[in-house]
């Protein structure tokens, strides 16, 4: 198996480059300046970026995030990388949230909605989801595999490269923070066998935690002769945050009985 996960030093170097762009420097933020912004020695920061096992306290993580001008997804990736899996309960701890979410799916038949776990395996879906995307009915249906490796996704998702980049950034976030690491590492090898995905993966080290509020267009001729614009809403159960409940809301929202 080939490992393509980003290590913390790789992320820090990428984030220094991004910080330089944000601050309109035209080049990556120097290590010395990051150290000054953190109020630590340059040697301390160099050791951090060279993976020398520098301990990071919560206070140091906050200063590091501020020094690199990290956005919310990058901050979550940083904290999750340093404390991988610390806030994620075991899937065996309590099955009740999943059962409750499955019941919630049954109340949302008007819209496409689905449940996925930390590996993007589909745990449940509405009937409308199955009408829009029949692949969810297949044994072992996996959202990430469908989006990144199927020809059908390339046809149905308008601006497929943009979608693929977002999902790859989510996959990187999951791997960086130690979520579903074994299955996802194997899936990453499968995904990177695709030339287009391999090219997109190598373009940057973006990380995205969730696709909340993402608006995108779908081409589903078996549902509508026109493109459908939807917005994704992502819900997480409080004590089972490895499970995601995703609702796709069409815009404009169709009235009862109206064809999509």
- What phi and psi, each to the nearest 5 degrees, are found at residue 113? -150, 155
Calculate the average pLDDT of the chain.
Answer: 85
| Closest residue by Cα to residue 85 from 215, 182, 195, 224 | 182
pLDDT recorded at residue 38: 93
The predicted structure's pLDDT at residue 260: 34
Q: pLDDT value at position 106?
A: 67
Domains of the chain by start residue, with CATH? 8-69 (1.10.260.40), 96-251 (3.30.450.180)
What interhelical angle do 42-49 and 31-38 show, nearest 10? Answer: 120
Residue 87 confidence (pLDDT) above 60: no
The string over 73-91, giving b where at least 16 C-beta atoms fall within 10 Å of a residue's C-beta and e elsewhere, is: bbbbbbbbbbeeeeebeee
Residue 29 has pLDDT above 80, yes or no: yes
Which tens digit of pLDDT belongs to each residue from 41-82?
Answer: 999 999 999 887 788 888 889 999 999 999 888 988 888 888
Q: What is the pLDDT of residues 192-235, one digit of tens each?
A: 999 999 999 998 888 998 888 889 999 999 999 999 999 999 98
Q: Which of 42-56, 72-86, 98-112, 116-130 has the lowest mean pLDDT?
A: 98-112
């Amino acid at each position: 198996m080939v490992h393509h996960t980003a290590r913390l030093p790789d992320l820090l170097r990428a984030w220094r480059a991004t910080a330089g762009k944000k601050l309109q420097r035209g080049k990556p933020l120097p290590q010395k300046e990051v150290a000054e912004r953190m109020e630590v020695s340059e040697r301390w920061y160099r050791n951090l970026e060279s993976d020398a096992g520098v301990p990071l306290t919560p206070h140091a993580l906050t200063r590091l995030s501020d020094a690199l001008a990290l956005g919310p997804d990058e901050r979550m990736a940083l904290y999750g990388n340093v404390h991988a899996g610390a806030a994620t309960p075991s899937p065996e701890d309590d099955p009740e949230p999943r059962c409750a979410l499955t019941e919630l799916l049954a109340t949302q038949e008007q819209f496409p909605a689905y449940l996925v776990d930390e590996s993007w395996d589909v745990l449940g879906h509405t009937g409308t989801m199955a009408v829009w995307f029949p692949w969810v009915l297949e044994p072992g249906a996996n959202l990430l595999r469908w989006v990144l490796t199927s020809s059908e996704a390339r046809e149905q998702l308008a601006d497929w490269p943009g979608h693929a980049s977002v999902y790859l950034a989510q996959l990187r976030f999951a791997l960086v923070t130690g979520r579903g690491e074994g299955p996802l590492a194997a899936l990453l090898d499968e995904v990177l066998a695709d030339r287009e995905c391999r090219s997109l993966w190598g373009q940057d080290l973006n990380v995205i935690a969730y696709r909340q509020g993402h608006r995108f267009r779908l081409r589903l001729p078996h549902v509508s002769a026109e493109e459908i614009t939807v917005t994704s809403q992502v819900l997480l159960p409080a004590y089972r945050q490895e499970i995601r409940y995703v609702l796709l809301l069409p815009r404009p929202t169709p009235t009862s009985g109206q064809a999509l």
